Amino acid sequence: MPSVLRQKRVADRLQQEASTLLLEMKDPRLDLVTVTRVNIDRELEYAHIFVSTVGDDARRKAVLQALDHAKGYIRREIGRRVQLRRAPEVVFHWDPSPEKAEQIAQLLDELKAAPPTAPSEPPAATPNADPESR
């Protein structure tokens, strides 16, 4: 089994090559698709490629359908470009993290734009009238 460092290096290389392949492909459904990360198992058998793009749910389905259709070509090209004993099986997943980051940014912007609330006054301190009562 490869070391964790080799596993990370292979995943980084696969991300670079998958990104390049998506740019080279002529399918209009794959315009503006970004490979956000690649996870590869310890045996280097399966490469889980996470992608993201702008658009709604229909766009997401079209992108995943196009990638699923081109899976064989992408695997063959990755195997040709990255010198591994065996090209990993490619599995595509949708990465929701850019959308979540956008939602968080919008919430933070709303908090900044909201008028500040007046701080509530602390309760008045009661002076000790009788020190012997302690």
CATH number at residue 48: 3.30.300.20
- Domain membership flag for residue 56: yes
- Domain membership flag for residue 93: yes
Tens-digit pLDDT profile for residues 60-116: 999 999 999 999 999 999 999 998 889 999 999 998 888 788 889 888 888 888 777
Is the Cβ–Cβ distance between 42 and 83 less than 8 Å?
no
CA-wise closest residue to 90 among 7, 11, 1: 11
51: enclosing H helix or E strand? strand 46-52
Task: Note the pLDDT of residue 129.
Answer: 57
Residue 95, Cβ density class (10 Å: 0-12 exposed, 13-18 middle, ≥19 buried): middle
- Domain membership flag for residue 75: yes
For 79, the domain range is 4-98
- Domain membership flag for residue 129: no
- Domain membership flag for residue 115: no
Tens-digit pLDDT profile for residues 16-73: 999 999 999 998 999 899 999 999 999 999 999 999 998 888 999 999 999 999 999 9
- Domain membership flag for residue 108: no
How many folded domains does the chain comprise?
A: 1
Q: How far is Cα 120 from Cα 128, in angstroms, rounded to an integer?
A: 24
- Domain membership flag for residue 78: yes
CA-wise closest residue to 44 among 76, 7, 16, 79: 7
Residue 132, Cβ density class (10 Å: 0-12 exposed, 13-18 middle, ≥19 buried): exposed
pTM, full prediction: 0.75
- Domain membership flag for residue 35: yes
